[in-house]
């Protein structure tokens, strides 16, 4: 039992904007009243619902591949010394699993969504998520390059495709569906890419990225999944890709969808020399499409490592930078690429990328539809979120930072003209209430009665980056895990998943195909339920007729 008194509460989901309220917690939930127990005096502090990260890469084969590739980064970064309550590990761009949990909790984040899981290695992802303490974890299964599914969509067998998709979600013990560069990774298996929405995918007769996106969005909506299709659009990172993104938004009319890391999809220009921001056009179209949500995928200057299922893009990045390149194609399903990368102020392209992330956050009017992410670790590591919050809340600081860019870059971006400053209320939306709503988690991202008792308490301070980087208290499921900026307790988080309904007979359709195309036995493929620690099975909405 716990009572928090005297703090200014920012709980946007319940319309509470900085009022001094009392929060009572019992048995891991927010309750109207408690008798006895501990009281935290939060006078002079602000109280947020625990943060929710809608798009991050914290576990699984791809990230673990990246860990092996950058020992030099591990050496540069913060070591975590083992203590009585926490395990040793390494911070940096790809923190070890335990440290990932500590670092997220250390920011006031209590729920994360691992955004890219192949079914084939989902067992690995869940093993890592199990070793990620404190935070609750959901994950999205990769489906836009699954060849069994693509064959069905090409043949127009939508209903069967839906059953196969649902079977895949349950096999991966996932929470949502992710589409990465639809068709592009399948093409990459022959060293090609799918740049246009309307051209048939190399290796296929008729199917186009457009049909895959539409098909999957329909499937996700029909299954009534709590989280809409999580889409990484085609043509990521390329100059002039805003036309693809605008086309994709039009295509999604009538469906729900979440566009991941929009920053990487909002560029104009014809090549690297003429690349410019098209954040204004993208934001305008996005504002007019209330069926969509997005996350920023903002970039910060410095060293990081890029990890994506988008294999062809990573090959290009390797050719551009001459840096190390890792690639792992996953049979019949997807791929992944890893390239360490440094974003530099004086690099024109990087300067545009840095600006676009912030511009989208400032130009998209409804904070309930755009969320704070860096596509960790692609744009920057998640533990740098407070730096972005600072840039959003202080226009003067932003102008100061613009001076660090190459002067040529200023003509290519909109940022110098933007004066909007985020309020604490809006920060609470983009870091917690909004993503929780987009993920379809009604018990997360707010402090109303019945919600999970995930609470972050910050010192109210003008020093924004310090305030958000070092919360005074973090409470996870009613347990005080961070106190005075130190880890006091490491609780275990839940695994969030859904079980969409499907026709059991679909297994007899998949089994022979599987035996033909895969190298694993069919019965070993689905992840066993026992492997999910503290499972939290969320309901699907009533399937649409």
Partner 1 sequence: MGGKVSCTLGEVKNRADLIIYWGGNPAECHPRHFTKYTLTQKGRYIPNGRKDRTMVLVDIRETPSAKAADIFLQVRPAKDFEVITVLRALIKGHAVDPELAAETGLSMEQLQDLADRMKKARFGVLFFGMGLSMTRGKHMNSAALLTLAAELNAYTKFVAMPMRGHGNVTGGDVIMRWTTGYPFGVSLSRGYPRFNPGEFSTIDLLIRGDCDAALILGADPGATMPQPAIDHLARIPTIVLDPKVTHTSRLARVHFTTAATGISAPGTVYRMDEIPLPLRPALKSPYPTDEEIVHRIYQAVAAKPPLPPAVMLSQATM
Measured CA to CA, the distance from residue 89 to residue 111 in angstroms comes to 21
Residue owning tokens 């904007």? 17
Between 41 and 528, name the residue whose CB sits nearer to partner 1: 528
Q: How far is the CB of 444 from partner 1 (least distance, A)?
A: 25
Measured CA to CA, the distance from residue 371 to residue 209 in angstroms comes to 26
- Identify the residue among 41, 43, 75, 290 touching partner 1 (CB under 8 A): 75
Q: How far is the CB of 452 from partner 1 (least distance, A)?
A: 26
Q: Which stretch binds partner 1 (CB under 8 A): 18-26, 116-124, 205-213, 228-236?
A: 116-124
| Distances, alpha carbon 23 to alpha carbons 49, 185, 196, 424, in Å | 11, 48, 51, 18
Residues 20-39 that bind partner 1 (CB under 8 A): none
DSSP 50: P
Q: Residue 524, interface with partner 1 (CB under 8 A)?
A: yes
Q: By three-state DSSP, how is residue 150 classified?
A: helix
Between 120 and 231, name the residue whose CB sits nearer to partner 1: 120
Q: How far is the CB of 338 from partner 1 (least distance, A)?
A: 7
Lookup: tokens for 466: 């310090």
Q: How far is the CB of 189 from partner 1 (least distance, A)?
A: 6
Q: Residue 332, interface with partner 1 (CB under 8 A)?
A: yes
- Identify the residue among 88, 290, 416, 539 touching partner 1 (CB under 8 A): 88
Residues 359-418 that bind partner 1 (CB under 8 A): none
Q: Residues 292-331 vs partner 1: string with x where CB under 8 A?
A: -----------------------x--xx---xxxxxxxxx
Measured CA to CA, the distance from residue 250 to residue 253 in angstroms comes to 6
Lookup: tokens for 299: 């970039």
- Identify the residue among 4, 42, 52, 90 touching partner 1 (CB under 8 A): 90
The C-alpha angle with vertex 211 and arms to 252 and 146, in degrees rounded to 5, equals 110
- Identify the residue among 19, 20, 37, 68 touching partner 1 (CB under 8 A): 68
Q: How far is the CB of 236 from partner 1 (least distance, A)?
A: 18
Residues 119-138 that bind partner 1 (CB under 8 A): 120-121, 123-124, 127-128, 131
Q: How many angstroms from the chain centroid is the CA of residue 361?
A: 15
Q: Residue 147, interface with partner 1 (CB under 8 A)?
A: yes
Measured CA to CA, the distance from residue 29 to residue 454 in angstroms comes to 8
Between 83 and 206, name the residue whose CB sits nearer to partner 1: 83
Is 418 in contact with 362 (CB distance < 8 Å)?
yes
- Identify the residue among 190, 198, 417, 508 touching partner 1 (CB under 8 A): 190
Q: How far is the CB of 97 from partner 1 (least distance, A)?
A: 5
- Identify the residue among 76, 82, 404, 466 touching partner 1 (CB under 8 A): 82
The C-alpha angle with vertex 37 and arms to 34 and 40, in degrees rounded to 5, equals 95
Between 97 and 401, name the residue whose CB sits nearer to partner 1: 97
Between 516 and 542, name the residue whose CB sits nearer to partner 1: 516
Q: How many angstroms from the chain centroid is the CA of residue 484?
A: 28
Residue 236, C-beta contacts closer than 8 angstroms, at least 6 positions apart: 181, 264, 265, 308, 310, 313
Between 413 and 527, name the residue whose CB sits nearer to partner 1: 527
Residues 502-521 that bind partner 1 (CB under 8 A): 516-520
Between 5 and 321, name the residue whose CB sits nearer to partner 1: 321
Q: By three-state DSSP, how is residue 448 classified?
A: coil
Is 388 in contact with 374 (CB distance < 8 Å)?
yes
Q: Which of 453, 442, 426 is nearest to 23 (CA)?
A: 453
Please, is 157 exposed, middle or buried when counting C-beta atoms within 10 Å of its C-beta (0-12, 13-18, 19+)?
A: middle
Is 344 in contact with 301 (CB distance < 8 Å)?
yes
Is 318 in contact with 325 (CB distance < 8 Å)?
yes
Q: How far is the CB of 23 from partner 1 (least distance, A)?
A: 31
Between 463 and 528, name the residue whose CB sits nearer to partner 1: 528
Residue owning tokens 């127009």? 156
Q: Residue 189, interface with partner 1 (CB under 8 A)?
A: yes
Q: Residues 191-230 vs partner 1: string with x where CB under 8 A?
A: x---------------------------------------
Q: Which helix (H) or strand (E) holds 276?
A: strand 276-277
Residue count, binding to partner 1 (CB under 8 A): 59
Q: Which of 345, 513, 441 is nearest to 136 (CA)?
A: 441
Is 341 in contact with 299 (CB distance < 8 Å)?
no
Q: Residue 83, interface with partner 1 (CB under 8 A)?
A: yes
Between 26 and 328, name the residue whose CB sits nearer to partner 1: 328
- The DSSP annotation for 181-232 comes to STTHHHHHTTT----STTSPPTT-SS--HHHHHHHHHHHHHHHT-SS-EEEE
Residue 449, C-beta contacts closer than 8 angstroms, at least 6 positions apart: 30, 31, 32
Q: Residue 492, interface with partner 1 (CB under 8 A)?
A: no
Q: Which stretch binds partner 1 (CB under 8 A): 70-78, 258-266, 293-301, 369-377?
A: 70-78
Q: Residue 277, interface with partner 1 (CB under 8 A)?
A: no
- Identify the residue among 61, 116, 352, 391 touching partner 1 (CB under 8 A): 61
Q: Residue 89, interface with partner 1 (CB under 8 A)?
A: yes
Between 226 and 237, name the residue whose CB sits nearer to partner 1: 237
Between 90 and 279, name the residue whose CB sits nearer to partner 1: 90
Q: Residue 485, interface with partner 1 (CB under 8 A)?
A: no
Positions that interact with partner 1 (CB under 8 A): 59, 61, 64-65, 67-69, 71, 74-75, 79-83, 87-90, 92, 94-98, 120-121, 123-124, 127-128, 131, 147, 189-191, 315, 318-319, 323-332, 335, 338-339, 516-520, 524, 528
């Amino acid at each position: 039992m716990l009572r928090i008194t005297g703090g200014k509460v920012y709980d946007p989901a319940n319309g509470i904007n900085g009022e001094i309220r009392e929060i009572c917690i019992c048995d891991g939930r927010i309750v109207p009243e408690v008798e006895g127990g501990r009281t935290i005096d939060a006078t002079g502090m602000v109280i947020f619902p625990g943060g929710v990260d809608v798009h991050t890469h914290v576990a699984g084969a791809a990230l673990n591949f990246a860990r092996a590739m950058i020992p030099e980064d591990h050496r540069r970064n913060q070591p975590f010394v083992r203590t009585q309550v926490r395990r040793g590990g390494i911070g940096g761009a790809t923190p070890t699993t335990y440290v990932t949990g500590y670092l997220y909790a250390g920011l006031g984040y209590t729920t994360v969504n691992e955004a890219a899981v192949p079914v084939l290695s989902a067992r690995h992802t869940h093993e890592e998520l199990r070793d990620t303490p404190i935070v609750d974890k959901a994950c999205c299964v990769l489906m836009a390059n699954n060849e069994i599914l693509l064959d069905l969509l090409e043949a127009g067998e939508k209903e069967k495709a839906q059953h196969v998709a649902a079977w895949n979600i349950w096999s991966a013990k996932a929470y949502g569906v992710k589409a990465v560069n639809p068709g592009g990774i399948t093409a990459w298996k022959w060293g090609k890419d799918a740049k246009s929405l309307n051209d048939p995918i190399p290796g296929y007769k008729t199917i186009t990225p457009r049909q895959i996106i539409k098909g999957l969005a329909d499937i996700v909506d029909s299954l009534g999944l709590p989280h809409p299709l999580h889409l990484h659009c085609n043509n990521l990172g390329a100059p002039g890709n805003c036309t693809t993104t605008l086309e994709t938004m039009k295509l999604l009319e009538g469906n729900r969808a979440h566009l991941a890391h929009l920053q990487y999809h909002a560029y104009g220009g014809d090549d690297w020399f003429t690349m410019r921001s098209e954040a204004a056009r993208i934001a305008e179209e996005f504002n007019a499409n209330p069926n969509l949500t997005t996350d920023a995928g903002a970039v910060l200057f410095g060293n990081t490592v890029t990890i994506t299922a988008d294999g062809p893009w990573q090959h290009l990045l390797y050719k551009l930078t001459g840096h190390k390149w890792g690639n792992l194609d996953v049979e019949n399903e997807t791929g992944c690429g890893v390239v360490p990368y440094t974003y530099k102020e004086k690099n024109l392209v990087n300067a545009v990328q840095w600006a676009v992330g912030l511009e989208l956050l400032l130009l998209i009017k409804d904070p309930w539809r755009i969320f704070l992410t860096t596509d960790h670790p692609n744009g920057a590591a998640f533990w740098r979120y407070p730096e972005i919050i600072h840039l959003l809340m202080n226009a003067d600081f932003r102008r100061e930072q613009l001076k660090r860019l190459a002067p040529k870059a200023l003509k290519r971006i909109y940022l110098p003209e933007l004066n909007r400053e985020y309020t604490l209320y809006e920060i609470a939306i983009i870091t917690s209430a909004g993503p929780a709503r987009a993920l379809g988690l009604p018990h997360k991202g707010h402090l109303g009665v019945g919600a999970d008792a995930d609470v972050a308490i910050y010192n109210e301070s003008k020093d924004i980056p310090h305030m958000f980087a070092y919360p005074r208290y973090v409470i996870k499921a009613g347990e005080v895990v961070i106190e005075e900026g130190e880890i006091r307790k490491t609780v275990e988080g839940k695994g969030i998943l859904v079980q969409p309904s499907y026709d059991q007979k679909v297994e007899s359709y998949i089994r022979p195909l599987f035996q033909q195309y895969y190298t694993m036995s069919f019965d070993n493929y689905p992840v066993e339920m026992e492997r999910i620690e503290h499972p939290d099975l969320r309901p699907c909405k009533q399937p649409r007729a």
